[in-house]
Structures are given as structure tokens and as C-alpha cells.
Amino acid sequence: MRFTPHVTVATVVEHNGRFLLVEEIASGRQVLNQPAGHLDADETLLEAALRETLEETGWQVELTGVVGIYLYTAPANGVTYQRVCFAAKAIREVPDAVLDDGILGPRWLTRDELLACREQWRSHLLLECIDDYLAGHRYPLSLVRPVSHAESAAPA
């Protein structure tokens, strides 16, 4: 059996004690999540985080650090996801931004408001990433180091 984890990115964006979340339809139900999504071919993790945040919320952000790297196996389908979660600050909302299919829109919620709607969470990673962010977990963006094809050699 071949094991193929899915690489994803997410951002924790906080402004005045509220967190930028995505309200979306997943598996036929309305859920909340961080702006998050899959890494595309020929894209860096940082580029993916900026793109996914814009496509899902209509907000341009500036990445400020790495919150953590998470390995999660979804109970619904058994798929394993490796999530790289970034901290970011909101720069500006893009007027009339076209959001991805299935996205209902952005929501700004406090941690307490988020706790009150636990049944809407896409996964427990939502709160885990926010709590790690609130605990001060920030690693420099230089932790994520893309290697160009010209410089790469056979993997160790």
C-alpha cells in the first residue's frame, strides 16, 4: 500500500482579538476553518498560504511566522494531511474578490465565539492552531526553505 500524505497550508490571522475564518461547505455541511488549502505544483508553501487566504477570504495578508507543522488523519476518509500553519497579519480586504467554490465567506470571530460553535469546526486543528498562536508559537519564515531545481541534488 502506498502512503501519500496531502500537503496543506493554513493561516492564523488575528486582528483586535478576532481571527479570520472561512465559512464553507464541506462534505455537505456548513463548517468553519482557517483559510487553508492544498499546495499546488511548482508553488512554495509561502505562496500557497498567501493564495489560499486570498481565494478563501478576499483578504491580502502578510505572513509573519510559522505557527506549527501538524500531521492529521481525517476520520471521515482516512486521508493524512501535513499542515503547515502560518501566522499572518491582515493587509487589506480586496473589494469584490471572487472566492473559491463552496466558500460562503470570511468571518471574524474571537476564540470564545469559536468555542461556542464547536459543532461547525471542520476539524480540531482549527482551535489547535489558534491556541498555539496564542501561546506564542512563532518560528521564523526562514524555517521554510524552498530549494530550486538547479541547486537540488539527490535526496539524502
65 grid coordinates = 511566522
Mean of pLDDT values over 71-94: 92
Domain boundaries, the chain: 6-143
Q: From the CA atom positions of the chain, what is the Rg in Å?
A: 16
Question: Hey, what amino acid is at 154?
Answer: A
pTM: 0.90
**Cβ neighbours of residue 91 closer than 8 Å, sequence gap 6 or more:** 59, 60, 61, 62
Model pLDDT for residues 41-71, shown as the tens digit of each residue: 989 999 999 999 999 999 999 999 999 999 9
Model pLDDT for residues 91-118, shown as the tens digit of each residue: 999 999 999 999 999 999 999 999 999 9
State the CB neighbour count (10 A cutoff) for residue 91.
11
Check: CATH 3.90.79.10 for 6-143?
yes
* pLDDT for position 74: 84
